[in-house]
Structure 1
Amino acid sequence: MAEKTSIQRHTKWRRGVSHHRRTEVWKWPAVKAGNHSARRTLFGCKVFENFAYVIHVITRFGLASMLHLWPLSKILSGALILVGVVAVFVATQSPGASTYEILTKVIRFSGVLSTLTIIALGAAWRWVPHFQNSIFPYLGGRWIGQVYFPGECGEETRDVTLDVIQTAFSIKLILKSDESVSQTLAVQSSKSDTDEYKLYYVYENKRKEGRSKGSRVYRGVAILRFELDQGELHGDYFTETHRSGRLILGDRKRNNWWVFWR
């Protein structure tokens, strides 16, 4: 049997969660008749499940190259506080309602609140510079520069463009020259205590048709450093063909401010 795709596995996981939710809902009458501790436990599990599902979608499809830089424990605490505020509001607007009925309404809203929280954080990162730099700077857009590498007569250069596709939780790099195109296979972002921003990534390079060694494919690794004061990208790369070089990209065309998806 052919291996299931990521989408199929994700759909099966989602259906499993939905079935689990329906099963748990039928258990609520028993919990309703039980003690307050049981109700609070089930309520907390439901809220956490909704938030965890949003995180699952981000990580399942390779969108988590920047997720580790976010203060997830604080975000989760804030989300739970927000749910608590909603619970108080629902309770004041539903006089005479039982605890079971109030918690049921809050759980229905918890999934929406979790999604809206993620969207709000992503928008804040994209449009608030100070908050953005506390996580990782926005590098989205097209960068223009040169690649430097050893040649037969000394160091040679090639003009290149780097397209950076970045969201609040992921980043992808596409480097193009007249001879080849390379795309990232995996990216890991890093922020030091001294606000030094780096990208560690594995890429695949493919030579263009009609060029020397056309259609040749090889992989490499690279370290890219963002110079915040200069607004430049400096990096070093190493390939499985035992070649190495460096790149400097200084000219940048930023994406429009309203383009928050790349």
Structure 2
Amino acid sequence: MLNRDGFQTAGEAVTGLRDYIISSGLKPGERLPAERALTAELGVTRNTLRKALDALEREGTIWRHVGKGTFVAATADDLDKMTQSPVELGRQLTPFRMMRARLAIEPAIAREAAINASGDVIARLNATIQRMRAATSWKQYETEDDVFHREVAEASDNLLLLSVFDQLNMVRRAVAWGAVERHSTRPSVDHGSFGEHEEIVLSITNRDPAGAHEAMRKHLRSVAERLFGEV
């Protein structure tokens, strides 16, 4: 049975929006029409549209900037083309080399975030930290951890840096990390990354570029040490 928006499921609304992006010929970096125009074009309510936008943002197809609009990160066709190179590169990288790349890039992005972050992004970072602390499984924690690091990149307010981060993340996902041994079903309350994430956000909130750079570097070195025992 169709709902009032003409879609049988919320997933169909997501598919409809994704198809609209492709058929409109929108390229990465180009802005989508305003929500009012999209609701009319797709025949959906604003609430349904926002759920679809949230889904596409989580999968990395779009990104949003409060006050500026919604932008295409990559269309489905672009992703098919783009993933060939990152996937192949990921297969050639060891996890250790991948972490070294993150150490070179992400602290610099955090520095820019401390200079340019909007209040909205800072609020989202704090909300993500709370969701990480409340995670009931490692999978849920890792999903929120991915969101956190991308939000830091969004906070830089620099489309090129966000694109660099997205490419880095695509390569990271292609690296063969092997099985990570877990001794619990969820992160412990004193899991080191909790405090490290909070230090990053505190430095960004305080507009402390050097502090944000160092906090991100410290966090990634800590992650590397847990994985490899060295960096």
- Report the TM-score, using the length of structure 2 for normalisation: 0.25
Structure of greater Rg: 1
Q: Which has the higher contact order (CA 8 A, sep 6+)?
A: 2
Compare the two structures and name the one with the higher strand fraction. 1
- Report the TM-score, using the length of structure 1 for normalisation: 0.23
